[in-house]
Structure 1
Amino acid sequence: MGQGEEVNTRNPSDVEIQERGEIYFFYRPKVGKEEAHSSDDVQKMYIVLRPESGETSTEVKQAEDDHDDEEKNKEDVQPSSSAGTQGGHGAQEVNIEKETLLRFIVMGKKSLPDPTKKSMPFWGFVELVTTKIQDVKDALKGEEYDTKTRGHRHKPPARALGEGMYRILRHHVGGVKDDKKKKMHTHLIYKLELPSEDVNEQPQEALNVEREASFLIQIKNPEQTGKQGRTEFRGLQRKRRAVFPAHLQGQFGKLRYHAADPPDFLNYEGCEFLLISASDDIEEELGLDLETEQTHDASCSDLVNTFGVGETGSADALLRGIWV
């Protein structure tokens, strides 16, 4: 359905769009369950970001790895210290206006932040960054396997939950961007196109996937360690954390978190971040109106056409708003 358009309804100098694209939501039922009936039956929640334009047409990501190895994300391999300025996996340029770039994200609490609890951060991480659609299909599909303690196990395929448009943007609080006294933070905002507004939206409501939402997004410094505070997250093991190139890592300094500026931070596997609910009314908060293509025909769904229904089980959660 495309990246849609945004319309400024207030002073546009307070907001700078860094990246535009499509956003897809998925959930996976727990191992051994053929379908989910509530959030208690959900094993994981995923977000897929597909950037399509931005401040620059070219983004830099870690070099393409072979994602066919199903054990890739389970191995504790320390990235080479010889990676230098390019990061732990080298560098690859992608023209997002002409090429596919997909970020496969795992949410730690199996849902989005509760919009009524605006001070509670939710942790997530980028599990996969790829230019190959099949890599994401493989990450979404089900699996049959055997264990020594529990015998044969069935991991069900992920279910498509929502499809829409997103923006990553800078927000200059209280004034224009050139005023050094004004603070800047970054937002991830989205607006759904599917499911349509006339369905029940049972799984969407249970997993806090609102029709539209705005979140503060902060990138976690992978080199910062220390005692875990009351609101801190243990996060990934050290050997699974992102290894950013020098120009990105240098932006942290001694800070534990940094704004998602540039969004290229999210192009490195193991990138950890926090989402903090800001608003469920984007226009009221930021003066932006996101305009979707206003079509609810499944045949026009980029999610279904790109990833297929076979890899994501039934499309009933996406199209009918019911648990499957």
Structure 2
Amino acid sequence: MTDSSSTAAATGEKHQTNHQDPDAKRHKPEPQADEKDTDTNDNNANIKEEPSNVLEKGIFYLFVRGRVDTEELEKVDDIARTFILLRPIGKDAKLGEGPLENSGTTRLLALPKKILPVSGRDRFMAFVEKSGPSYDELKTGFLDSEEYETRTAGKRHTPAATPVGEGVYAITTTGRESHLAYIRTLPEDPDSVQSELGFKDQGSFVLSTKNPKQDGPARAQLPEKPDFPDDILDEFRTLRWLPTKPEHLNYVNAQVLLIGESSGIDKAVEPEKKEQEKGKAEPIEVLTSLEEEDLGRMRQLPGGESDSIFADLRARAKDYPKLQTTF
């Protein structure tokens, strides 16, 4: 699952832009103070309020971890588990340049099926493995490789986590369902790796949270249940599932059903009529605006696309040499 070393060069060529002549820039007249104020006021006037059916937005990372003693990942069967890392940002926040600040609401979701659902026939269970981890916890408890001894096979090696992409996401609600819609931002020139994992240019899936008081198949049970507070438990009543709310994902061992949507993100970002009448932004506008901000931000980070993801997580890519050729 490695790419050629020309990816970084190709990416760099792709992002070259036409710059103004330096002299023209130098002699460009500065606007007067009142002109600046007018421009600022105009920009503020054009900013639309975010719609209420966007419950959360943020950055979406996709990682995989190889099977024990498997360093080179060439096919999905070589993967032990796939992970989604969600890093929410504030409702009115904008993505600036450089790495994101630490977020106390970062969640790590494990996908035992190893691929993302892409159609309504795909119904995959995921669970929250970590909630609110610090950078050190992510590094030592998730990203790092591990070696251990067994009585029968001797020393075994669990490989480090490998990033296979990044994007922006929004959790939206239709009232009856919750959706997670995403737009991929890295890699910008994907290959078969992303395709095999179901990580498309853009996609979405329905999210439903399992009632921890309702038993299910033994093979789908976790050793411990999520420590949901009473207000969340009360919402379930006798229901087996609830449309996922962002706060459900703040609890380790929360189980979430992901159902693919072959129609793409259309249903997930469908605007509400009453919101349109109020002149609020549509969910797709929120998502595409976030995509543009994230692309610009990631281009400011050092190294290739794999390095940039680790710079964003404030981890050192050189600690993970196998990741240098991921994209």
Q: Same fold (TM over 0.5)?
A: yes
| 1:218 correspondence with 2:202 | no
Alignment of 1:267-306 (within 5 A): 267-279=250-262, 281-283=264-266, 286-287=269-270, 288-289=284-285, 290-291=287-288, 292-293=291-292, 294-295=295-296, 297=299, 299=301, 303-305=309-311, 306=313
Contact 2:126 2:256 survives alignment (8 Å): yes
Q: Secondary structure at the match of 1:282?
A: coil
Give the conservation status (yes or no) of the 8 Å contact 2:87–2:103: no
2:65: which partner in 1?
A: 28
Contact residue 28 and residue 159 of structure 1 kept, 8 A: yes
Which residue does the alignment assign to 2:317? Answer: 309
Is 1:257 the equivalent of 2:241? yes
Query: What's the CA shift for 1:145?
Result: 0.7
AA of the residue aligned to 2:179: H
Structure (1 or 2) with the larger CA radius of gyration: 2
Secondary structure at the counterpart of residue 31 of structure 1: coil
User: What secondary structure is seen at the aligned counterpart in 2 of 1:191?
Assistant: strand
Q: Do the aligned partners of residues 308 and 165 (structure 1) sit closer, same or farther apart at CA in structure 2, a change above 3 Å counting?
A: farther
1:99–1:207 Cα change, 3 Å: closer
Q: Are residues 38 and 298 of structure 1, via their aligned partners in 2, closer, same or farther at CA, if it must alter by over 3 Å?
A: farther
Report the number of matched residues: 245
2:125 alignment counterpart: 123
User: In the TM superposition, what is the alpha-carbon distance from 1:98 to its structure 2 partner?
Assistant: 7.6
Asked whether the equivalents of residues 49 and 103 of structure 1 are also in contact (C-alpha less than 8 Å), the reply is yes
Residue number in structure 1 paired with 2:167: 164
Give the whole-Å Cα distance in 2 for the aligned partners of 1:146 and 1:255.
44
| Per-residue deviation, 1:40 | 1.2
- After the TM superposition, which residues 183-198 of structure 1 pair with which residues of structure 2 at under 5 Å, given as runs? 184-196=176-188, 198=189
Q: What are the residue-to-residue correspondences of 1:131-210 with 2, within 5 Å? A: 131-138=133-140, 139-172=142-175, 184-196=176-188, 198-199=189-190, 201-210=191-200
**Distance in 2 between the 1:316 and 1:98 partners?**
27
Q: Please report how far the alpha carbon of residue 308 of structure 1 lies from its aligned counterpart in structure 2 after TM superposition.
A: 3.3
Residue 212 of structure 1 contacts residue 280 of structure 1 at CA under 8 Å; is this kept in 2? no
- The within-5 A match list for 1:3-152 is 16-54=53-91, 99-113=103-117, 115=118, 117-138=119-140, 139-152=142-155
Displaced runs of 4 or more, over 6 A: none
* TM-score of the two chains, using structure 1 as the length reference: 0.69
Which of residues 218, 224, 228 is equivalent to 1:244? 228
Q: What residue identity is the alignment partner of 2:323?
A: S
Give the match's secondary structure for 2:90.
strand
Q: SS where residue 248 of structure 1 aligns? A: helix
Give the aligned residue type for 2:157.
H
Q: Identical aligned pairs, as a percentage? A: 30
- C-alpha separation in 2, matches of 1:210 and 1:187: 16
Kindly state the Cα deviation for residue 280 of structure 1 after the two structures are TM-superposed: 5.7
Give the match for residue 234 of structure 1: 219
Q: CA deviation at 1:118?
A: 1.1
Contact kept? 1:161, 1:204, Cα under 8 Å: yes
Q: Which has the higher contact order (CA 8 A, sep 6+)?
A: 1
Give, in whole Å, the separation in 2 of the partners of 1:218 and 1:24. 20
Q: Secondary structure at the match of 2:194?
A: helix
C-alpha distance in 1, partners of 2:198/2:103? Answer: 31
* Distance of 2:109 and 2:174 partners within structure 1: 23
Normalised TM-score (structure 2): 0.68
Q: SS at the partner of 1:250? A: helix
- Root-mean-square deviation over aligned CA pairs: 2.6
Q: In structure 2, list runs of 5 or more residues that go unmatched.
A: 1-49, 94-99, 271-283
Contact 2:202/2:264 (<8 A) preserved: yes
2:41 matched residue in structure 1: none
Q: Deviations over 1:28-85 (max 9, x none)?
A: 11111121111111111011001112499xxxxxxxxxxxxxxxxxxxxxxxxxxxxx
Whose strand fraction is larger, Structure 1's or Structure 2's?
Answer: 1
Structure 1: gaps of 5 or more residues: 1-11, 57-95, 173-183
Query: Does structure 1 retain, via aligned residues, the 8 Å contact 2:179–2:268?
Result: no
**CA shift in 2, pair 1:118/1:99, >3 Å:** closer
